[in-house]
Amino acid sequence: MSETPRLDIVEHVDTPHGLLRLERYLSNGRTHHALWINDERMMADEGFDSELALAHIADALWRVPRQVEAPTSLDLGATRPKGRSVLVGGLGVGYTARAALELPEIERVVVLELQPRVVDWARGVFAEANAGVVDDPRLEIVIQDLAEYVKSPPDGDRFDLCLLDVDNSPERFLVASNESLYQADGLQQLVACLAPGGVAVFWSLAPVDVLLRRIATLDAPVSLYGSYTYDLKVGSSPRYFGYLGRSL
C-alpha cells in the first residue's frame, strides 16, 4: 500500500490488544480517516470496494448449488427467500455491515466488534461514510471476541451469511486470538454457526491456500469451498476471498 501523508492522530486508545488509533490523512487532495491497531492498518474511509464485495460475493455463493468445486461464475440475479440473518466479523468503518443490510431480504445483521471505541467512531466520524449504519434497527452490535463468540453463539444463533474481515490474511492477524479462527477447531465452530446452506467468506490481502487446505480436512458438513480473487483498479493488488458453505 502506498504511503499517504498523515495529518495527525485524532485519538488513540490503549486496549488489551495493543494501541488502537484513529488517524487523519490526505489522499488525492481530500481528507480521510483510517483505523490502526499497533502497526497494522485496519481500514479507511476510502478504497472500500472489496469490503462491499465481501457481502455480494457471500450472497452470490449462498445461491449456487451445493458442490465442492468452486463455481465457474457467480449469478447475482437469482431469487432469495425472506428473513435471512448475517454475522459480520469486525465493524471497522461500517462498510461491510452497510453492504450486508442492503442485500435483499435481510432481516438481521449481528456485528462482532472487539473494540468499543470503534463503535463510537463508526457512529461519529464515519457516520456519513457508512450512512448511519450503527443506528439501523436491524443491526445488533456485540462487543466480544469473534473467536469466543463462535464457540457458543447465544440462543443457538445460526446465520445464513458470515462475513469475516477481522485480519489481513489467514496468517497475518490483527489480534493474536484470531489465529484460532483459521484452525480446524475454529473452522468447525464457524460451520456450526451457519444455518443449513449458509456461507462464510473470509476477506484477505493474500492468497488463502493455507485456509483451503484446512477446510478440506474438516470433519464438518461442508459442501462448498474455494477461493475468489477480486481485482481492484489498475496498479492495486487484488483482494482474496476464501469461502465455505454448509450442507443443506
For the chain, strand residue ranges (E) read 6-15, 18-27, 30-37, 40-44, 84-89, 106-113, 139-143, 159-164, 194-204, 222-230, 239-246
Residue 122: pLDDT band (50, 70, 90) is very high
Assess contact for 99 and 60: CB atoms under 8 A. no
Active site residue 209: no
Query: According to DSSP H, which parts of 135-241 are helical?
Result: 146-149, 184-193, 209-216
Cα gap 170→57, rounded to integer Å: 18
| pLDDT 10s digits, 130-185 | 999 999 999 999 999 999 999 988 888 899 999 999 999 999 999 888 999 999 99
Cα gap 88→110, rounded to integer Å: 6
| pLDDT 10s digits, 194-239 | 999 999 999 999 999 999 999 999 999 998 999 999 987 655 789 9
List the catalytic residue out of 59, 145, 165, 167.
165
Supply the pTM of this predicted model.
0.88
- Which comes out higher in pLDDT, residue 77 or 145? 145
- At 30, the amino acid letter reads R
Cα gap 229→246, rounded to integer Å: 21
